Structure 1
């Protein structure tokens, strides 16, 4: 959003893996995955407070820090968003992909059944992890090919 708003270089895509998007940390999935031994609501809160300090969750958080706060998602580059179904960040990722689409943008969303935060790094040889990496690679190949054709 910052690049779009400031007229920065043209970006061809955004690849968002298990993204933290909403500093309010109050979605259903955030509450469902709380107090477990993976990245949970508590760790998300810790991360947001490290980034935003006392302003975390308040009314003046910049959409460049917490994209879920953005009111205008138009004009963003195509997005690939993936997240696990057993992930504290699931609902904010799904909502963000939906909002990009509603704003006229392109968002390819993958919710990996049974996946938890960074499942693909913890168990890189698992079938689900290999599928996630292949989906990301395939998306980048398509985005880069389309960009080359548009030049």
Structure 2
């Protein structure tokens, strides 16, 4: 890829970012260990509880002030094969503090040791835990959003679809950062030649194959395993999708947003020029990332009916 296309603030990061060894056991082990660094138990403006539900690990962020009564279930990324909730500590703490909402960050099981439906089942368990704890946490079950980044964004979209097909409270909104939505992208061998920064199509194929337990792009996939495979998108909640224009997932995100809109779902699609996959996590202090995340949080606040003081509109 031509580095001149990358936003100037991000070029140095991309130039020195080594390819991550997702495809072998030792590489995955190392990345998983590194992603667990930063298990902090507190933050300015709120408290963090480390909660275990059976073998499921949850990080529960609670604001000290301007409690709004809304909540977010957050799902980390990592191509379905690596990652941990601790890697998104700063993001979850900021959303909790600045919007006055409870944030539940999910430590789901990873592939290939735990293929589909393990991760999605874990996310459902986290949703159910939050509903059961809503009164204690001061959360209105009708004002809960589901969000995630990359593979976590794909899991968030799948979780929303599954919940909207069942009885009970449904998510108020979905908040998707560069979501990994369509295994058919990984089956497009012509994309292998393009050196997409941070996450390329060869890595994409590894992630999908590990999660699905079959080659990506196969004729059939299990229900709710691949969000873009769902035929009827009507009835889903208001949606925000953010993506960089250098991201491998750009086309599948654009298609999903277009299909949601055609199905009557309110959609905001934010495309950032010169930005690669997950740039806001890798370079959070850059102006391009701060503006992007700030606009995303503003959207989430409106979707959850939160006033600037944290009260309900």
Q: Can you list the C-alpha shifts for 1:84-142, whole angstroms capped at 9, x where unaligned?
A: 00000011011101100000001110011011011001111112101111111001110
Q: CA deviation at 1:7?
A: 2.5
Match of residue 54 from structure 1: 214
Q: Which has the higher strand share?
A: 2
| TM-score in terms of structure 1 length | 0.88
- Asked if structure 1 preserves the Cα contact closer than 8 Å seen for 2:238 and 2:265, the reply is yes
1:62-141 matches, within 5 Å, as: 62-141=222-301
Q: CA deviation at 1:37?
A: 4.9
| TM-score in terms of structure 2 length | 0.44
* Count of residue pairs brought into register by the alignment: 147
- Asked if structure 1 preserves the Cα contact closer than 8 Å seen for 2:182 and 2:227, the reply is yes
- Identify unmatched segments of 5+ residues in structure 1: none
Stretches of 4+ aligned residues off by more than 6 angstroms:
none
Q: Which has the higher helix share?
A: 1
- CA distance change for structure 1 residues 114 and 68 in 2, over 3 Å: closer, same or farther? same
- Identify unmatched segments of 5+ residues in structure 2: 1-160, 307-311
Q: 2:184 aligns with which of 24, 32, 53?
A: 24
CA RMSD of aligned residues (A): 2.2
Find the aligned partners of 1:33 and 1:16 in 2 and give their Cα distance: 27
- CA distance change for structure 1 residues 13 and 27 in 2, over 3 Å: closer, same or farther? farther
Q: CA deviation at 1:58?
A: 1.1
